Amino acid sequence: MIIYCTSVSQNWKTIVSYAKKYANQFSRETRFEKAPSNLIPREQIEWIENILDLHINNKQNIVIASTYELPILRIMKRIGQTCSGKYDKYINNEQFIVLCLAENKFPVNQKDKYYCQRLTVSNEGEFIDTWPEGFFDERMNELF
């Protein structure tokens, strides 16, 4: 299982506490990985491919905390490639959880400062659920 956490919070403790709720559902040991800061795109891809290999080869649960866009897109691409037979390793959507942590606009107390939304990914590697407030909307101006 790979649990990918993206968050407005860079508070590692907050991210880990939400991820553990999902990771504890599985019996294997869980490894926690925080994305190194300031990686260029090529390094982001290399980093996530290494994590994918760890998961696939060692059958290890991995929780990833990152605000990078490319790693999540690469995992989703690999899921789609597995589904279509174009990837020689095996990862499917049942092995991948995306958690989006966001700040509550009106928290009742400190415990209620963040909320967590789980997003589902299809067999083809596409989001089924809508990303809160859009998936990297700021890129649209750059692309078109």
Sign of the alpha-carbon torsion through 34, 141, 101, 27 = negative
Averaged confidence pLDDT in the chain: 81
Q: Give the chain's domain count.
A: 1
Average pLDDT over residues 49-75: 87
Rounded to an integer, the average pLDDT of 92-107 is 84
pLDDT bracket for residue 25 (50, 70, 90):
low
Helix spans in 24-118 (H): 41-58, 70-84
**Domain ranges, residue 51:** 2-143
CB 6 within 8 A of CB 98: yes
Which residue, 93, 99, 89, is CA-closest to 126?
93
| Alpha carbon distance 100, 81 (integer Å) | 24
Q: For position 143, what pLDDT does the model report? A: 42
**CA distance to 10, 108, 117, 128, per residue, from 76 (Å):** 23, 35, 18, 12
Q: What is the pLDDT of residue 144?
A: 42
pLDDT at 37 over 90: no
142 band by pLDDT with thresholds 50, 70 and 90: very low
What are 114-129's pLDDT values in tens digits?
788 888 899 999 989 8
Position 8 scores a pLDDT of 60
